[in-house]
Structure 1
Amino acid sequence: MFKENVFTLINQQNGNLAFKLFYFQDNSHFDHIQRLNYFSLIWIQKGTGKVKVDFSEYDFVENDLLAFAPYQPFMLIHAEEVKGVVLNFHPDFFCIHKHHKEVSCNGVLFNTVYSSPIVAIDSVSATTLEMVVSQLKTELHNPDLAQYELLISYLKIFLITTSRLKSQQIPEFKEEQSDSQNPFILQNLKDNIEAHFKSKHSASDYADLLNISPKSLAKITKKYFNKTLTDLISERIIIEAKRELYLTSKTVKEIAYELGYQDEHYFSRFFKNNTDVSPQLYRDTVGFAHAEE
């Protein structure tokens, strides 16, 4: 056991968690559904198992990093006893939306509609990340001038390193299928969801746009993305809703309308069914209008 395995920084303005680093020796932290109001990076340094996240399930192995956005539901089921380290940070501490140009992790590490939450950490990168974790741990012990700035600098290095790895590990489609028409269809699907998710919410809408039967499109989508088409559409809407709730002062009704929902209450139920919290609670606990400050 580590003599000290939890290092926490609290936001003095509101008493909420700002940043936390901790080591885990078993799966007890993650053996039930987590819906955290902060970002979570879980580095599996020993052990194997499965991660259930959103609508899918993936296998993880030693030296995999798992990345989760606020209120993204996940849990780990271990096959072999797991050990590792976790970095948690609140959007008030570091907003990936506002700093996207610097770290480019939104849509790569976090809020990834089309890929798994897993990054494989190679030995060279593991050495870098170990050094960064050590520096973070040291700085958490050192509440001197500019502590936040140094912690954020080290966090950026961690995020940039892992985002680069993830981007290298996500080929758009499986190489062995490159000679088929499926990747072309799926790229068109991704483009169409991005273009129309605010106005078209049903799977049949996209089957019509692609001129393919809903059943055929459903099979292809499940095979490549391990999610249903309805899941993909819902996840994209939720990501946009979270972004609007966090970055703007728009009312829930205005956000609902912009996302194609005439009924604010229907939208709120849809949001809560997918995140387990209401839009207002998400805003209250994760952030609100930070881009306008």
Structure 2
Amino acid sequence: MMQKSKLTLVNPQTGNLAFKIYDIDTLQAFDHIQRLNYYALIWVKKGKGTLKADFSEYKFTANTLMCFSPYQPFMIMSDSEEVKVTIIHFHPDFFCIHKHQKEVACNGVLFNNIYCPPVMEVKEPVSNKLEMFMEQIKNELQSDALAQYESIISYLKLFLITASREKTQQSLSAYSQKEAQNEEPFILQNLKDSIEEHYKTKHSASDYARMLTISTKSLGKLTKKHFDKTITNLIAERIVIEAKRELYLTDKTIKEIAYELGYSDEYYFSRFFKKNVEISPQMYRETVGFNRLATGR
């Protein structure tokens, strides 16, 4: 695989990747399941193919931005001979979207949105802005100027803010079209609200079907049709997102986190987490880290 550029920052305390931006002309490295311990932004500028992420499959074409959070499973299969891709990786210790939610607002938009595909179309003039931010980041990485990290983080924030605004606008337009065509029943919005309110205490599909006064089978058909996921998938993903957040942002014990998420048995919770993330909660904390107030960004 030919790499035109590879610009990397390493955390001097841990020796682990902090930030990396690079260009590639093949997607071969992603043709098997990926579970990275950092955030990944994959901008396909030329090429097309299929993305498998979490429990779903999506077709993509040129000018597509894919966004993945730590240990989110995905794989990309290309259908094109000519491919052009730019990739940004950043570790939560370099920039944590949870801690900077008010500044960037990309959590739940670019990342950790269980109802929306982790992809967005990148069109002009947005693509020009994102390209400019990437070039500024590359320039900073090639220099040893004062406040290099802070400058890179500033451009990364601008990249995330711009992409979040565009994806939000695209989602609103898509929702308006669906609403006009009555493609997404009102009950699904009630399901979203119910999961958000009760995911810590209600973990079964039948719980939500009863709350919404609909049969589990009928509700399951709706979620599969509109989200391409089962109700159980949606609930599990929401629990995992919160578990990851607690493991990173706090120093609570696994037992405390499990209890807060409705699991009286710490070991049952750990098995549930490992089934969905493929590593234990403790390993997630050790590889992704947790918020260190003195040094964390």
**TM-score, normalising length: structure 2:** 0.94
1:146-203 Cα offsets, whole Å, 9 max, x none, are 1100100110111011001110111374624546495310010000000100010000
Counterpart CA distance in 1 for 2:7 and 2:240 is: 31
Q: CA deviation at 1:290?
A: 3.4
Q: More deviation in 172-181 or 12-21?
A: 172-181
SS in structure 2 at match of 1:243: helix
Secondary structure of 1:170 counterpart: helix
Alignment RMSD: 1.7
Question: Contact 2:9–2:18 (CA<8 Å) still a contact in 1?
Answer: yes
- Give distance in 1, aligned partners of 2:36 and 2:3: 26
* Aligned residue number for residue 21 of structure 2: 21
CA–CA distance in structure 1, aligned partners of residues 61 and 46 of structure 2: 8
1:121 maps to: 122
| Structure 2 residue 30 is matched with structure 1 residue 30 | yes
Question: In 2, Cα distance between the equivalents of 1:284 and 1:187?
Answer: 36
Deviation at 1:288, TM superposition (A): 1.2
Residue 252 (structure 2) aligned to one of 230, 250, 253 = 250
Paired amino acid for 1:148? Y
Alignment of structure 1 residues 150-229 onto 2, 5 Å: 150-171=151-172, 173=175, 175-178=177-180, 180=182, 182-229=184-231
Unaligned runs of 5+ in 2: none
Report the secondary structure of 1:145's partner residue: coil
**Corresponding residue for 1:91?**
92
Cα distance in structure 1, aligned partners of 2:60 and 2:184: 26
Count of aligned residue pairs for this structure pair: 293
For 2:157, give the aligned amino acid. K
How many angstroms apart in 2 are the aligned matches of 1:261 and 1:166?
A: 34
**CA displacement at 1:128 relative to structure 2:** 1.0
Deviations 1:231-270 (A, max 9, x none): 0000000000000000011000000011011111111111
1:251–1:89 Cα change, 3 Å: same
The answer to whether residue 235 in structure 2 is matched with residue 233 in structure 1 is: yes
Query: Could you tell me how far apart the structure 2 residues matched to 1:199 and 1:173 are?
Result: 29
Q: Is the 8 A contact 2:2 2:25 kept in 1?
A: no
Stretches of structure 1 lacking an aligned partner (at least 5 in a row): none
Letter in 1 for 2:230: T
CA distance in 2, matches of 1:34, 1:3: 19
Q: 1:100 and 2:101 equivalent?
A: yes
> In structure 2, do the counterparts of structure 1 residues 179 and 76 end up closer, same or farther at CA, with 3 Å as the change threshold?
closer
Q: Take 1:271 and 1:28, find their aligned partners in 2: how far apart are those partners?
A: 29
Conserved in 1, the CA contact under 8 Å of 2:47 and 2:61? Answer: yes
SS in 2 for 1:5: strand
Give the whole-Å Cα distance in 2 for the aligned partners of 1:58 and 1:232.
Answer: 17
* Structure 1 pair 140–200 and aligned structure 2 pair: CA distance change class (3 A): same
Partner of 2:9: 9
Q: Is the 8 A contact 1:50 1:77 kept in 2?
A: yes
Find out whether 1:265 has 2:228 as its counterpart: no
Q: Which amino acid aligns with 1:256?
A: A
Q: TM-score, normalised by structure 1?
A: 0.96
* Corresponding letter in the other structure for 2:265: D
**Contact (CA 8 Å) 1:247, 1:292: kept in 2 or not?**
no
Alignment of 1:36-115 (within 5 A): 36-81=36-81, 82-115=83-116
Q: Which moved more, 1:77-86 or 1:251-260?
A: 77-86
Task: Quote the Cα distance in structure 2 between the aligned partners of 1:145 and 1:79.
Answer: 43
Cα distance in 2 for residues equivalent to 1:179 and 1:16: 49
Structure 1 pair 251/278, CA: closer, same or farther in 2 (3 Å)? same
- The aligned amino acid for 2:114 is V
Q: How many percent of aligned residue pairs carry the same amino acid?
A: 59
